[in-house]
Chain A
Amino acid sequence: MKSNLKTAYSQQEGNSTHLASFQTENWKTFSGMGIPALKHEEWKYIPVKNIFKDEMNIAIESSNLEDTIIKKSILPGTEEANTIVFFNGRFQADHSIIHEKDALVVKSLETAAGDEDALFVEEHLGHSQAYHPDGVNALNGAFASGGAFIKLKKGKSLLQPLIIYHFSDSSNGFRFSQPRILASIEANAQITIVETYINIGGGESFTNEVIEICTGRDSITRYIKLQNEGKHSNHTGTTHVRQLERSNTHAVTITLDGAIVRNNLNMVMEDEHAESHMYGLYLLNGNTIADNHTIVDNRMPHCESNELYKGIMDDQSTGVFNGKIFVRKDSQKTNAYQSNKNILIGDQASANTKPQLEIFADDVKCSHGCTIGKLDEDALFYLRARGISEKNAKALLLQAFASDILGQIEHEAIKNYIEQLISERLSFQA
Chain B
Amino acid sequence: MLKIENLQARIEEKEILRGINLDIKPGEVHAIMGPNGSGKSTLASVLAGREDYEVTGGSVDFLGKDLLELSPEDRAKEGLFLAFQYPVEIPGVSTTNFMKTALNEKRKYHGLDPLDAAQFLKLMKEKMKLVQIDQALLSRSLNEGFSGGEKKRNEIFQMAMLEPKLAILDETDSGLDIDALRIVANGVNQLRSKDNSFLVVTHYQRLLEYIVPDYVHVLYKGRIVKSGTKDLALELEERGYDFIKEEVDQAIA
Q: Determine if chain A interacts with chain B.
A: yes
A393 to B158, CA, bound (A): 16
Known: A382-B87, A387-B109. A392 touches B72 (CB 8 A): no
Name the residue of chain B whose CB is nearest to the CB of A393.
B73
B98 within 8 Å of A (CB atoms): yes
Known: A381-B50, A384-B71, A430-B114. A389 touches B105 (CB 8 A): yes
Interface size on A, residues (CB 8 A): 24
Name the residue of chain B whose CB is nearest to the CB of A387.
B76
B106 within 8 Å of A (CB atoms): yes
Interface readout for B76-97 with A: 1 if CB under 8 Å, 0 if not?
1100001010011011110001
Known: A382-B87, A387-B105. A396 touches B82 (CB 8 A): no
B102 within 8 Å of A (CB atoms): yes
Interface size on B, residues (CB 8 A): 31
List B residues 148-198 near A (Cβ within 8 Å).
158, 162
Question: Could you say which residues of chain B place their CB within 8 Å of the CB of A403?
Answer: 92
Name the residue of chain A whose CB is nearest to the CB of B84.
A382
Known: A392-B101, A392-B105, A396-B98. A387 touches B162 (CB 8 A): yes
Interchain CB contact under 8 A, A386 and B162: yes
Interchain CB contact under 8 A, A430 and B73: no
Known: A404-B92, A430-B114. A388 touches B101 (CB 8 A): yes
Interchain CB contact under 8 A, A379 and B105: no
Interface residues of B, dominant DSSP: helix
A401 within 8 Å of B (CB atoms): yes
Question: Could you say which residues of chain A place their CB within 8 Å of the CB of B141?
Answer: 400
Name the residue of chain A whose CB is nearest to the CB of B143.
A382
Interchain CB contact under 8 A, A430 and B72: no
Name the residue of chain B whose CB is nearest to the CB of A401.
B92
List A residues 381-420 near B (Cβ within 8 Å).
381-390, 392-393, 396-397, 399-404
Q: How far is the CB of A387 from chain B (nearest CB, A)?
A: 4
A378 within 8 Å of B (CB atoms): yes
Number of residue pairs spanning A and B whose beta carbons lie under 8 angstroms apart = 75
Interchain CB contact under 8 A, B48 and A385: yes
Question: Could you say which residues of chain B place their CB within 8 Å of the CB of A386?
Answer: 73, 76, 98-99, 102, 158, 162
Interchain CB contact under 8 A, A378 and B88: yes
Question: Could you say which residues of chain A place their CB within 8 Å of the CB of B105?
Answer: 387-389, 392
Question: Could you say which residues of chain A place their CB within 8 Å of the CB of B87?
Answer: 382
Known: A390-B71, A430-B101. A385 touches B162 (CB 8 A): no
Q: How far is the CB of B72 from chain A (nearest CB, A)?
A: 4
Interchain CB contact under 8 A, A383 and B98: yes
B104 within 8 Å of A (CB atoms): yes
Residue in A387, A390, A397 whose CB lies within 8 Å of B93:
A397
Interchain CB contact under 8 A, B71 and A387: no
Q: How far is the CB of A343 from chain B (nearest CB, A)?
A: 12
Q: How far is the CB of A371 from chain B (nearest CB, A)?
A: 14
Name the residue of chain B whose CB is nearest to the CB of A386.
B102
A389 to B77, CA, bound (A): 10
Residue in B82, B92, B109, B158 whose CB lies within 8 Å of A400:
B92
Question: Could you say which residues of chain B place their CB within 8 Å of the CB of A389?
Answer: 73, 105
Known: A392-B101, A396-B101. A385 touches B72 (CB 8 A): yes
Residues of A within 8 A of B (CB): 376, 378-379, 381-390, 392-393, 396-397, 399-404, 430
Given A382-B90, A399-B93, A400-B141, 8 more contacts at CB 8 Å? Answer: A385-B76, A385-B84, A387-B76, A389-B73, A396-B98, A400-B91, A404-B92, A430-B114
For the complex of A and B, the 5 pairs showing the least CB-CB separation, nearest first, are: A400-B92, A387-B76, A386-B102, A384-B72, A403-B92
Residues of B within 8 A of A (CB): 48-51, 71-73, 75-77, 82, 84, 87-88, 90-93, 97-99, 101-102, 104-106, 109, 114, 141, 158, 162
